[in-house]
C-alpha cells in the first residue's frame, strides 16, 4: 500500500516540496493522518484475508468498510491540503495598504 507521503517524513514542522514552498504541518495533523492510514491498512488486510478464505459475503462487507476508511483518509488529506494552500495564499498576499 502506498503512503500518502511523496517522500520519507522525518517529523512534523516545516515541509519543503519541489516548488520550494515552506509549509507548516502540525504534529496533530501528522498523527491523525498516520492513524487513519494505519486503520485503512488494517481494514485492507482483513479484506484480503477474507478473500483468500473465500468468505465472499464477509469480504464484500469488509470491502465497504475499507472503502469508507479510504474515503475518510482522502477527505482528511484533502482538508489538510486545503488548509496548507490557504495558509500559503495568505502568506503570499501583500499586506493591506493603510489608506487615510
Write the pLDDT tens digit of every residue in 11-67: 445 444 444 455 668 899 999 999 999 999 999 999 999 999 999 999 999 999 999
Supply the pLDDT for residue 2. Answer: 38
E-strand ranges in 2-93 read 13-16, 22-25
The Cα–Cα gap between 96 and 90 comes to 11
The Cα–Cα gap between 79 and 4 comes to 14
Supply the pLDDT for residue 96. Answer: 75
Supply the pLDDT for residue 48. Answer: 98
Mean predicted confidence (pLDDT) in 92-98: 78
Query: What per-residue string of b and e applies to 11-30 under the rule 16 or more CB within 10 Å gives b?
Result: eeeebeeeeeeebebeeebb
Amino acid at each position: 500500500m502506498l503512503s500518502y507521503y511523496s517522500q520519507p517524513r522525518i517529523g512534523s514542522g516545516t515541509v519543503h516540496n519541489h516548488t520550494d514552498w515552506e509549509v507548516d504541518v502540525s504534529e496533530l495533523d501528522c498523527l491523525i493522518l498516520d492513524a487513519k492510514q494505519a486503520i485503512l491498512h488494517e481494514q485492507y488486510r482483513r479484506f484480503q484475508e477474507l478473500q483468500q478464505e473465500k468468505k465472499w459475503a464477509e469480504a464484500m462487507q469488509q470491502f465497504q468498510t475499507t472503502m469508507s476508511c479510504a474515503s475518510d483518509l482522502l477527505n482528511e488529506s484533502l482538508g489538510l491540503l486545503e488548509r496548507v494552500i490557504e495558509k500559503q495564499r495568505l502568506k503570499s498576499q501583500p499586506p493591506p495598504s493603510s489608506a487615510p
